Amino acid sequence: MPVINSAKTDPNKILPLHYPWARRHYKAGVANNWVPEEISMQKDVEHWKSDHVLTADERRMVLWNLGFFSTAESLTANNIVLAVYHHITAPEARQYLLRQAYEEAIHTDTFIYCCDTLGLDPDEIYTMYETIPSIKEKDAFVVGLTQSVFSPTFSTEGDDNVRRFLRDLVGFYVIMEGIFFYAGFAMMLAMRRQNKMVGIGEQFEFIMRDESIHLAFGCDLIQTIRAENPGVWTAAFEAEILGLVEQAVTLEQRYAWDACPNGLLGINAEQFCQYVEHIADRRLERLDMPKRYGTPN
């Protein structure tokens, strides 16, 4: 009863469970239920309207993160629904994907709520993934990696196709949600610790909790496919994955420099870059790969 390519699995028969990790992540997601409207934006509106609370650099950092996340969330949702779901044959893993898709809708809604309450120009925010090179490069990197899985004729039969599918999962779960989200999380949570833009900061904290479960599910899914398809995870494939993580780290560091070129609240851009390397090492460990950077947190 493999997690992909199981012709014998009845997709409607979830019991008995074969993958308790999928169920566990589902329950963890439900336990973290939240909606953005529960969080007051009153302080954020005051801070945003005031001309002395936020520096120009802090405003830039907030805008860059809203610009990146507003569209990254829907790219992720589209990947689950349009590329991944169809190929997963284990019903309990599909149940998790439905939960994750719902959470991505909540995240998308969070950025609608932020735009509305702060009175931001949606045509500016929602086109930043095209107009801001450091954002565009991150999205283009993941999209380029995953495109073949979006083809209506794509199948996961055969080792080459399983590797294509794994590239999609690494691209979205490990790189997008596991690396590309994390400099932004660190910046927004640093703002919150200074009591600035506290509503958005709290929303980012909820999103980060969700994303850590998405990442954990993605790693369990990758590891299960790897165990069930021996021969797919070759040394050459592992070297390729390492190369992708290295490229992702470079893009995320470029983004960190671009979002806060002069540092932020006592944290300089170099420290955000070190944090990205630390995070990347932890992601590699989840894939049973050696650390690449050895950078302390």
Q: Which positions are catalytic? A: 113
| Cα→Cα distances 173→50, 53, 57, 130, 192, Å | 38, 36, 30, 22, 26
| CB-count burial class (<10 Å; 0-12, 13-18, 19+) for 30 | exposed
Among 25, 47, 54, 73, binds Fe ion (CB under 5 A): 73
Among 107, 163, 164, 192, binds Fe ion (CB under 5 A): 107
CB within 8 A of 234, min separation 6: which ones? none
Buried/exposed 282-294: b ≥16 CB within 10 Å, e otherwise: ebbebbebeeebe
* Count of residues engaged in binding Mn ion, rule: CB under 5 A: 4
Q: Residue 72 half-sphere exposure, CB side, CA atoms within 13 Å?
A: 28
Q: Which does 65 bind (CB under 5 to 8 A by kind): Mn ion, Fe ion, none?
A: none
The minimum distance between CB 219 and Mn ion, in angstroms, equals 13
Considering only residues 238 to 277 of the shown chain, the ones binding Fe ion according to CB under 5 A are none
Q: Which does 73 bind (CB under 5 to 8 A by kind): Mn ion, Fe ion, none?
A: Fe ion
CB closer to Mn ion out of 44 and 177: 177
Tell me: does residue 214 bind Mn ion (CB under 5 A): yes
Residue sitting closest to Fe ion (CB): 107
Considering only residues 172 to 191 of the shown chain, the ones binding Mn ion according to CB under 5 A are 177
The 96-135 contact track toward Mn ion, x by CB under 5 A, reads ----------------------------------------
CB closer to Fe ion out of 209 and 286: 209
Q: Give the residues lining the site for Mn ion (CB under 5 A).
A: 76, 177, 211, 214
Q: Give the residues lining the site for Fe ion (CB under 5 A).
A: 73, 104, 107
